[in-house]
Amino acid sequence: MIGAVPLIVALIAIGLYIFYNRWRDQALRDKPFPEAWQTILEDRLPVFRALTAQEQTRLKQLITFFIARKDFYGCGGLTVTDEMRVTIAAEACLLLLNKDRPVYPKLTAILVYPTAFQVEREQHQGDGTVASGPQGMLGESWGNGRVILSWDDVEKGVRDFTDGHNVVLHEFAHQLDAESGSTNGAPPLWRNSYAAWARVFTENFEDLGARSFSGLKTVMDDYGTTNPAEFFAVATETFFEKPHQLAKHRPELYEELKTYYQIDPRDWHS
């Protein structure tokens, strides 16, 4: 049984911790957005000027929280700059723009390589055997609170925000997915029906696989056929970068994503 004095001390400590967090959050909200960051945002994020004034303010607030609370590490000799931090944070926070939730609470660090990086992976061979060898990666999302990115490919993704390929959107979609406890293509759903989500995503995942196998043209990248988790990540890239095409060719999938992200990117792409 906990004594009265230790219990009071514990309650005071908890109260002070809550007060400090609220004070820190308010201090971040009140902190002016640096002019240098504003310039980077306007230059690097193509859709920023298409956002409403309210959305721009919200995005800048999210970026401030993201950069204050996540550590960036340069790998392979790369020196991380404010341009890199703001660009990565801006794209990652687009996914949270209208979602009333913490800023990737389980994420602690972003590791940035200058170009695609090599990792050891087991690969299934045509004869049924499994071989281990190096594999080039553009990005990777880990369950231990880390995201790894190739800066070269981050730049490619942000340079063309209409091609459906964006490594930051892809890897941070995996971070959202993992918040359910398992990276399986079904993130925690607050507004969507789980039954409708499962039906729509399963039907579209299977259809993408069938069309890809038949060599038919698809609005989504074939990498989405890998597994349900990759399907959700690729669908997210397509939703934000090719919204009109996705809404036309996969309307139910588009509506599920619109409800989940609480945003309609068609407003940004005239």
**Single-letter residue type at 171:** E
Centroid of chain to Cα 245: 21
Partners of 111 in the β-ladder = 73, 148
Q: Structure tokens of 147?
A: 């995201």
**Which of 114, 110, 227, 239 minimizes the C-alpha distance to 169?**
239
Query: What is the structure's pLDDT at 190?
Result: 86
Distances (CA, A) of 192 to 180, 185, 234, 249, 266: 14, 14, 19, 21, 20
Query: What is the structure's pLDDT at 14?
Result: 59
**Alpha-carbon span 37 to 67, nearest angstrom:** 11
4 domain-assigned:
no
Helix, strand, coil percentages for the chain (3-state, nearest 5): 55, 10, 30
16 domain-assigned:
no
Query: What is the structure's pLDDT at 128?
Result: 55
Distances (CA, A) of 164 to 23, 190, 213, 221: 39, 26, 20, 8
- Under a CB-based contact definition with an 8 Å cutoff, are residues 58 and 170 in contact? no
List pLDDT tens digits, range 185-214.
Answer: 999 998 889 999 999 999 999 999 999 999
45 domain-assigned:
yes
Domains identified in the chain, total number: 1
- pLDDT band per the 50, 70, 90 thresholds, residue 142: confident
Residue 242, burial from CB neighbour count under 10 angstroms (0-12, 13-18, 19+):
buried
Does 120 score more than 70 pLDDT? no
83 domain-assigned:
yes
CATH number where 169 lies: 3.40.390.10
- pLDDT band per the 50, 70, 90 thresholds, residue 143: confident
Residue 243, domain extent: 33-122+132-267
3 domain-assigned:
no
Q: What is the mean pLDDT of the chain?
A: 87
Q: Tally Cβ neighbours within 10 Å of residue 165.
A: 20
6 domain-assigned:
no
21 domain-assigned:
no
17 domain-assigned:
no
Partners of 135 in the β-ladder = 119
**Alpha-carbon span 86 to 45, nearest angstrom:** 10
Query: What is the structure's pLDDT at 49?
Result: 95
Question: What's the Rg (C-alpha) of the chain?
Answer: 20
Residue 175, burial from CB neighbour count under 10 angstroms (0-12, 13-18, 19+):
buried
